[in-house]
């Protein structure tokens, strides 16, 4: 037996069959497209995906759909489902950070409704605006 478990052993221990993601032929084609415009020009096959922590990349649409939507924003995923961003008015709140920072004790800090005493092991305790 090689290191690790065999797929058959894992499948026998699960209630559902295991699924495997297999890259499609389109993935090889799409991954060669290095710009958003070239990727999106192949909108029937490819999706341009962006994320904060990794380089932007063109993927096949089936593979782009498997990326976590909380992390990746991909084009051409769902042409029918277009989200409209509703603009909400911006509330302007006067920040009292400098006032809170001047307070040096837990009691005086928490005595102000706009301040909170913060503690952490890595930095000194301090009062900050909520």
Domain coordinates of the chain in residue numbers?
A: 22-74, 97-129
- pLDDT tens digits for range 28-79: 899 899 999 999 898 889 999 999 888 899 999 988 888 888 889 999 887 5
* Nearest-angstrom CA–CA distance, 51 and 107: 42
- Of 85, 83, 87, 97, nearest to 126 by C-alpha is 97
As separate numbers, helices (DSSP H) first and strands (DSSP E) second, the chain gives 6, 5
The pTM of the full predicted model, rounded to 2 decimals, is 0.43
Q: In the chain, what percentage of residues exceed pLDDT 90?
A: 25
By the 8 A CB rule, do 100 and 114 touch? Answer: yes
């Amino acid at each position: 037996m090689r290191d690790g478990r065999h797929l058959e052993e894992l499948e026998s221990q699960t209630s559902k069959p295991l699924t495997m993601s297999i890259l499609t032929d389109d993935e090889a084609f799409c991954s060669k497209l290095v710009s958003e415009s070239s990727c999106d020009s192949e909108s029937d096959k490819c999706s341009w995906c962006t994320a904060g922590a990794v380089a932007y990349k063109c993927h096949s649409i089936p593979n782009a759909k498997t990326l976590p939507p909380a992390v990746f924003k991909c084009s051409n995923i769902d042409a029918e489902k277009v989200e409209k961003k509703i603009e909400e008015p911006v509330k302007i709140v006067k920040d009292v950070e400098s006032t809170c920072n001047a307070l040096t004790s837990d009691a005086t800090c928490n005595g102000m409704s706009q301040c909170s005493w913060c503690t952490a092991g890595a930095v000194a305790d301090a009062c900050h605006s909520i």
